Amino acid sequence: MNTEYFRLGPHVEAARAGGQPLVALETVVVSFGLPRPINLQVAHEMEDAVRAEGAVPATIGLLEGRVVIGLTPAELAEFARGENLRKVSRRDIPVALARKEKGATTVAATVWAAARAGIRVVATGGIGGVHRGAPFDVSNDLPTLATEPVLVVCAGPKAILDLRATREWLETHGIPVLGWGIETMPAFYSASSGLPVDARVDTAEEAAAIARVHWTLGGKGILVTVPPPADFALPMERLEAILEEAMAEAERAGVQGWALTPFLLSRVAERTGGESVALNRALLLENARIAARIARALEA
């Protein structure tokens, strides 16, 4: 790991020395994906969920010209305040580091940084993917999964996306999609997109065994998709209506590029009276727990 541009947090340094399994967490969901003040609470709860399952959390963000692997609670609070901070995907990393800007990392930037630090497991909510319709917009989360040997635990691609196109993209680029106790890929807000996974797994050991073979044979990214907790899931039809409206609004207002995903997520949160936020929190915690179990199984 390059020490000029990377720094390990003290707890991550200790975990390394003690040979404990690590799970990387992103900061865009904290700074741009969830409303204040619940965002900071969820960030801490995710870290606690990882610890409760016997692994060590490494929340990642850019600070003072370095990629920090394992933010401290005080640093995490800065990311939750969300001031003077850039949403950093992979293409933004050199700019943010050279200018010493504070940057929250997307799934793409988090996966990339985790790989550089030798961390194999990342937990998040929904990954980015192929956006619907024109203008052409494909999240860097996808190509980064195609190039970095990291397992990402998620609730599938965000339902704001073109799910069929996203599923095809994963297949084209050789990224195995596993279903956690399910045969079809979840769609972040709902339990199923109706699109098949490549294999169903029911235990952390099964997921770890497949990942191990994948990496031994030169494979890169692999997804473990977990359906959102049933008590919180939102019905597709209701969501579709909200999304149609939000996407039309984004187009009228000229919202595009990095700002589109946060805009759509916040509209869905408003229109569901916060139900989507409760769901997002529940699935983030669930995914953090499962990621920790898989990280442990990978060490065994």
Q: Which residues are marked as active site?
A: 26, 158
Q: Are strands 151-154 and 121-123 parallel, antiparallel or unpaired?
A: parallel
DSSP code at position 230: T
Q: Which does 177 bind (CB under 5 to 8 A by kind): Mn ion, ligand PSU, none?
A: none
Q: Which entry of Mn ion, ligand PSU, none binds 124, CB below 5 to 8 A by partner kind?
A: ligand PSU
Task: Give the Cβ contact number of residue 164 at 10 Å.
Answer: 12
Give the range of 52-60, 104-112, 170-178, 194-202 binding ligand PSU by CB under 6 A. 104-112
Residue-by-residue DSSP string for 10-63: HHHHHHHHTT--EEEE-SHIIIIIS-TTHHHHHHHHHHHHHHHTT-EEEEEEEE
Residue 191: phi and psi, rounded to 5, are -70, -25
Least distance to ligand PSU, CB of residue 213, Å? 26
Smallest distance from the beta carbon of 83 to ligand PSU, in angstroms? 17
Binding pattern for the stretch 122-141 against Mn ion, x by CB under 5 A and - elsewhere: ---------------x-x--
Distance CA(118)–CA(20), nearest Å, equals: 13
Contact partner at residue 125 from Mn ion, ligand PSU, none, CB < 5 to 8 Å by partner kind: ligand PSU
Q: Which does 186 bind (CB under 5 to 8 A by kind): Mn ion, ligand PSU, none?
A: none
Phi, psi (deg, nearest 5) at residue 204: -65, -35
62 is an interface residue for ligand PSU by CB under 6 A:
no
Tell me, by CB under 6 A, how many residues bind ligand PSU. Answer: 20
Q: Is 162 in the site for Mn ion (CB under 5 A)?
A: no
For residue 101, state whether it binds Mn ion (rule: CB under 5 A): no
Element (DSSP H or E) covering residue 245: helix 236-253
26 binds, among Mn ion, ligand PSU, none (CB under 5 to 8 A by kind): ligand PSU
Q: Note whether 124 binds ligand PSU by CB under 6 A.
A: yes
Q: State the residue for tokens 């995903």.
A: 261
| DSSP string of 118-137, one letter each residue | T--EEE-S-B--BBSSSSP-
Binding interface with Mn ion (CB under 5 A)? 137, 139
Binding interface with ligand PSU (CB under 6 A)? 26, 28-29, 32-33, 89, 106-108, 124-126, 128, 139-141, 258, 261, 265, 280
